[in-house]
A and B are shown apart, each in its own frame.
Chain A
Amino acid sequence: MDRLLLITMLGMVIILYVTRISGYALVRKMPASPALERVLDQLPGVTLVALVAPAVAQEGVAGLLAAVVVWLVVIRTNNIVLSMMTGVGIIALLR
């Protein structure tokens, strides 16, 4: 392994570790306040939505259809694994 690659990787390891711990490290020190609670209360859902939306959009109509079906399957069965397989199945069929 050459030295440049090693340095590149080392920097990446540090960046990844720092980003992984810093959010929690900051939030555990913050004093509780109603405003913070309101933000933290909304954060998980909004973050997950922002993470997944472009991936669904990339699949176009098939993605939208799969998303709706997955949503309905979860509400009916409460089974994440089943809903995941349904979603992948729909995408595979429509491709």
Chain B
Amino acid sequence: MSRDAAFVSPQAHIPASCTLPAIRRGFRVTLSFDVGALACGATFGALATSGDMSAIASLPMSIFVYSGTAQMLALDLIDSNAGVLVIWGGTLLVSLRYVLLGFTMRGWFPGWPRRLVFSALYLNADQSWALMLGERDSGRQDTGFFLGSNLALFIGWTGGTAIGALAGNHLGGPTAWCLHFAASAAFIGILAGMHRGRIDVLPWLTSVAVAIGTERFIGGHWHVIAGVVAGIAVGMLQRNAA
């Protein structure tokens, strides 16, 4: 619906919803997240060096797999001599949330050449997705922001991995470097901005409860999907009742 050609600027092949200022803005805003990306990347690089995976493999993995959760999981499984199929199955499970993130992107890329969209999606990350949500919520629809944000995170994650792989065990207690709560805090901030009042309260609380419960009692990274399904179900019931 919003993919129509009207959005394409006439002279260039660059769509109007992907401007250089927005790319720059996305890059700049995301730089503050790079502290976390760098630290986690360095943790991964250092752990990979000290484990069974060679230091040489960690950088290509960060470049081409490019997913903190999947890479940490694979590292764990490789160190415990798990088979290839187990590693792939685990990777699929922790990566299913990306499908959900993709579902929310309808209308994000009006007039973009398909090749550019599917290249941009290769770098989709929780953080850049969440930041773009916040951006759209404040009325700025230019998805160039998402590109810039992806780029900044990519540099942080791969750069961090390289540093960790080179420094190896000299980093000392590498897990302490992983500033996990930084991303969580930013996500909460974005949520606070997105909150639309009473209509969101029940679905969101349901999602919180089901996600935490699933993580505690079932585990295996099902919590995102479980929380989303439960939250949407309550939201639909609520709207039908209203």
Q: Are A19 and B96 in contact (CB under 8 A)?
A: yes
Tell me the minimal C-beta distance from B197 to chain A in angstroms: 12
Main secondary structure of the interface of B (DSSP, over half): helix
Which stretch, B9-17, B19-27, B159-167, B227-235, touches the partner chain A? B227-235
Write out, one digit per residue, whether chain A residues 44-76 have a CB within 8 A of any chain B CB (1) or not (0).
Answer: 111111111111110100010011001101110
Q: Are B102 and A15 in contact (CB under 8 A)?
A: no
Q: How far, in whole Å, are A74 and B66 apart by their CA atoms in the complex?
A: 30
Q: Are B188 and A87 in contact (CB under 8 A)?
A: yes
Tell me the minimal C-beta distance from B180 to chain A in angstroms: 7
Q: Are B231 and A49 in contact (CB under 8 A)?
A: yes
Whether B140 is near chain A, meaning CB under 8 Å from some CB there, is: no
Which one of A23, A83, A88 contacts B102 once the chains associate, using CB atoms below 8 Å?
A23
Contacts of B61 in A (CB 8 A): 9, 12
Main secondary structure of the interface of A (DSSP, over half): helix
Contacts of A53 in B (CB 8 A): 207-208, 211-212, 223, 227
Residue of B57, B98, B223 with most chain A CB atoms under a 10 A cut-off? B98
Q: Are A12 and B32 in contact (CB under 8 A)?
A: no
Q: Are A47 and B189 in contact (CB under 8 A)?
A: no
Contacts of B5 in A (CB 8 A): none
Q: Are A83 and B211 in contact (CB under 8 A)?
A: no
Q: Are B91 and A46 in contact (CB under 8 A)?
A: no
Whether B186 is near chain A, meaning CB under 8 Å from some CB there, is: yes
Tell me the minimal C-beta distance from A84 to chain B in angstroms: 4
Contacts of A73 in B (CB 8 A): 189
Q: Which of B128-187 contact A (CB under 8 A)?
A: 130-131, 133-134, 179-187
Q: Which of B74-126 contact A (CB under 8 A)?
A: 74, 78, 84, 87-88, 91-92, 95-106, 108, 117-118, 121-122, 124, 126
Q: Are A49 and B204 in contact (CB under 8 A)?
A: yes
Q: Are A12 and B65 in contact (CB under 8 A)?
A: yes
